[in-house]
Structure 1
Amino acid sequence: MQLKDADIEIKLLIDAIYLKYNYDFRDYSKASQKRRIEQGITALKCQTISELQSQVLHDPAVFTQLLQYLTIPVSEMFRDPSYFLSVREQVVPVLKTYPSLKIWVAGCSTGEEAYSLAILLHEEGLLERSIIYATDINPVSLEKAKKGVFPLERMALYADNYQAAGGKLSLEHYYTGAYGGALFDKGLAEKITFSDHSLATDSVFSETHFISCRNVVIYFNKALQGRAYHLFNESLCRRGFLGLGHKESLDFSTCSHLFEAVVKKDRLFRKL
Structure 2
Amino acid sequence: MNDSSPENITYEQLSELVELIKQIHGFDFQDYSPASLKRRVTRIMQLQKLNLFDLRTLLTNDHDYFESFLIEVTVNVTEMFRDPQFYQSVALNIIPYLRSYQRIKVWNAGCSTGEELYSFAILFSEENLYDRCFFYGTDINSEVLDYARNGIYDPQKMKQYAENYTKTGVKHTLSDYYTAKYDAVVINHSLKKNVLFSVHNLASDGVFNEFQVISCRNVLIYFNPELQKKVIELFYNSLANFGFLCLGSKETLRSAELGRFKVIDKKNNIYQKIA
Shared fold (TM-score greater than 0.5)?
Answer: yes
Tell me how far 1:42 sits from its aligned partner: 2.1
> Are 1:185 and 2:191 counterparts?
no
2:270 corresponds to: 268
* Partner-residue secondary structure (3-state), 1:67: helix
Tell me how far 1:24 sits from its aligned partner: 2.0
Q: 2:166 aligns with which of 145, 148, 163?
A: 163
- For 1:24 and 1:190, locate their aligned partners in 2 and report how far apart those are by CA, in whole Å: 33
Q: Structure 1-normalised TM-score?
A: 0.95
2:216 corresponds to: 213
> Are 1:147 and 2:150 counterparts?
yes
* Partner-residue secondary structure (3-state), 2:171: coil
- For 2:173 and 2:75, locate their aligned partners in 1 and report how far apart those are by CA, in whole Å: 29
2:90 corresponds to: 87
Tell me how far 1:53 sits from its aligned partner: 1.7
Aligned residues: CA RMSD: 1.6
- For 1:122 and 1:145, locate their aligned partners in 2 and report how far apart those are by CA, in whole Å: 19
Q: 1:28 aligns with which of 22, 26, 32?
A: 32
2:22 corresponds to: 18
Q: 1:246 aligns with which of 240, 246, 249?
A: 249
In structure 2, the gaps of 5 or more residues are: none
Q: 1:40 aligns with which of 34, 41, 44?
A: 44
Tell me how far 1:73 sits from its aligned partner: 4.0
8 Å CA contact 2:9, 2:42 repeated in 1 = no
- For 1:211 and 1:137, locate their aligned partners in 2 and report how far apart those are by CA, in whole Å: 17
1:121 corresponds to: 124
Gap change, CA 1:5 and 1:189, over 3 Å in 2: closer
Matched to 1:104, the amino acid is: W
1:202 corresponds to: 205
8 Å CA contact 1:104, 1:208 repeated in 2 = yes
Tell me how far 1:126 sits from its aligned partner: 1.1
Q: Deviation per CA, 1:197-235, whole angstroms, max 9, x where unpaired?
A: 011000000000000000000111100000110000000
Tell me how far 1:152 sits from its aligned partner: 0.3
Matches within 5 A, 1:214-229: 214-229=217-232
- For 2:212 and 2:190, locate their aligned partners in 1 and report how far apart those are by CA, in whole Å: 21
- For 1:20 and 1:42, locate their aligned partners in 2 and report how far apart those are by CA, in whole Å: 23
- Moved runs in structure 1, 4+ residues, more than 4 A? 2-5
Range with bigger deviation, 15-24 or 129-138:
15-24
Q: Structure 2-normalised TM-score?
A: 0.94
Tell me how far 1:5 sits from its aligned partner: 7.0
Tell me how far 1:51 sits from its aligned partner: 2.6
In structure 1, the gaps of 5 or more residues are: none
8 Å CA contact 1:150, 1:183 repeated in 2 = yes
- For 1:255 and 1:78, locate their aligned partners in 2 and report how far apart those are by CA, in whole Å: 27
- For 2:164 and 2:229, locate their aligned partners in 1 and report how far apart those are by CA, in whole Å: 31
8 Å CA contact 1:75, 1:109 repeated in 2 = yes
Tell me how far 1:15 sits from its aligned partner: 1.5
- For 2:68 and 2:49, locate their aligned partners in 1 and report how far apart those are by CA, in whole Å: 12
* Partner-residue secondary structure (3-state), 1:183: strand
Gap change, CA 1:4 and 1:227, over 3 Å in 2: farther
Q: Deviation per CA, 1:77-124, whole angstroms, max 9, x where unpaired?
A: 000000001001110011111110110000001000000000011111
